[in-house]
Amino acid sequence: LAKTTQPISMDSYEGQEVNITCSHNNIATNDYITWYQQFPSQGPRFIIQGYKTKVTNEVASLFIPADRKSSTLSLPRVSLSDTAVYYCLVGVGSGNTGKLIFGQGTTLQVKP
Amino acid sequence: SQTIHQWPATLVQPVGSPLSLECTVEGTSNPNLYWYRQAAGRGLQLLFYSVGIGQISSEVPQNLSASRPQDRQFILSSKKLLLSDSGFYLCAWSVGGTNEKLFFGSGTQLSVL
C-alpha cells in the first residue's frame, strides 16, 4: 500500500496560484492518484484524479512526473473559500481490495 | 444519480451506552463501503471497509464493529462506548477498481460523555 507524504500546512493569499505536492515513492504500477478537499464538519469531496502527465478540470490541475513518485495539485487563483484540508490518496493497485487509507493532509489557509 | 445517506447528524451518548450508525447508498450496485473516523483536528482514520455483503475488513482493533446486511447498507456499532470513541464518523462508497473515487456522506458528530 503506497504511503503518501504532504506538507502539514500552507498559507496563500487570494488570487495566487497554490501548488501542493504529495510524495508517493512506493506507488504501484496500476495505482491512480486522487485528491480530495475537506471543509470543517463535512466529508471530503473529490477534486481530481490522474495516472500520469497532466490532468485538468474546472477546479484544478494535477501534474504527475514520469516516475510517478510524486504529484502536484495546482489551484489557480485561490479564493477565501478554498481554505480547506487537501488530501492526496493513492490507490491500492490492481484488484478491488477496497483498502483506502488517507494521509494527514495539507491544511491550506487562504488570506485576504 | 448516486446518493449516500448517513444518520444521525449529531449524537451525544454516555460512556458505556451502545451505538448504531447507519449508512445507505442509492443508485449503484455492489459498491465498496467504508467507515472512517476523524478526531478533532486530525486526519481520516479508516475503521472498516467492505467489498460485498457480509465481507467486512477491520483496520483498527477497538470496541467498534461493522456489518453489511444488505448490498447498499453499512452499519457501525458498539456495545459499550468509550470516551475515546468521540469523533466525526464518515461513511463513504466507491465503485471499486484501481481508479476508484470515494464519495462521502455528510457525517455523524459523536460526543461520548
What are B2-31's pLDDT values in tens digits? 899 999 999 999 999 999 999 999 998 899
Average pLDDT, chain A: 90
Chain A residues with CB under 8 Å of a chain B CB are 30-32, 34, 36, 41-46, 49, 51, 87, 89, 91-105
Which residues have C-beta within 8 Å of that of residue A47, sequence separation ≥ 6? A35, A36, A37, A59, A60, A73, A86
Nine cell digits for residue A33: 492518484
Query: Which region among A4-8, A94-98, A106-110, B107-111 has the lowest average model confidence (pLDDT)?
Result: A94-98
Q: Nearest Cα to A35, choosing from A17, A21, A14, A52?
A: A21
> With an 8 Å Cβ cutoff, are B109 and A99 in contact?
no
Residue A51: CB atoms within 10 A of its CB come to 15
Per-residue model confidence as pLDDT tens digits over A51-90: 999 999 999 999 999 999 999 999 999 999 999 999 999 8
Burial of B46-84, coded b for 16+ CB within 10 Å and e otherwise, reads bbbbbbeeeebeeeeeeebebbbeeebebbbebeebeee
Tell whether omega for the bond before A40 is within 30 degrees of 0, i.e. cis: no
* B103 interfaces chain A, CB cutoff of 8 Å: yes
Q: What are phi and psi of A17, to 5 degrees?
A: -90, 135
**Residue A93: per-residue pLDDT:** 47
Q: Which residue has the higher pLDDT, A61 or A1?
A: A61
- Say what the pLDDT of residue A29 is: 85
Please return the burial class of A4, using the count of CB atoms within 10 Å of its CB with bins 0-12, 13-18 and 19+. Answer: buried
* CA A5 to mean position of chain CA atoms: 10
Q: Is the pLDDT of residue B102 over 60?
A: yes
Query: Is pLDDT at B97 greater than 70 in this prediction?
Result: no
CA of A51 to nearest chain B CA: how many angstroms apart? 9
A13's CB contacts (< 8 A; 6+ apart) are: A110, A111, A112
Dump pLDDT digits (tens) for A16-40: 999 999 999 988 888 889 999 999 9
Q: Which residues of A touch B50 (CB under 8 A)?
A: 98
Q: Is the pLDDT of residue A99 over 80?
A: no
Of B50, B88, B101, the CB nearest to A46: B101
Distance from the Cα of B9 to chain A's closest Cα (Å) equals 10
**Cell numbers of A108, please?**
491550506
Check residue A2 and give its pLDDT: 59
What residues of chain A lie within 8 A of the CB of B89, using their CB?
none
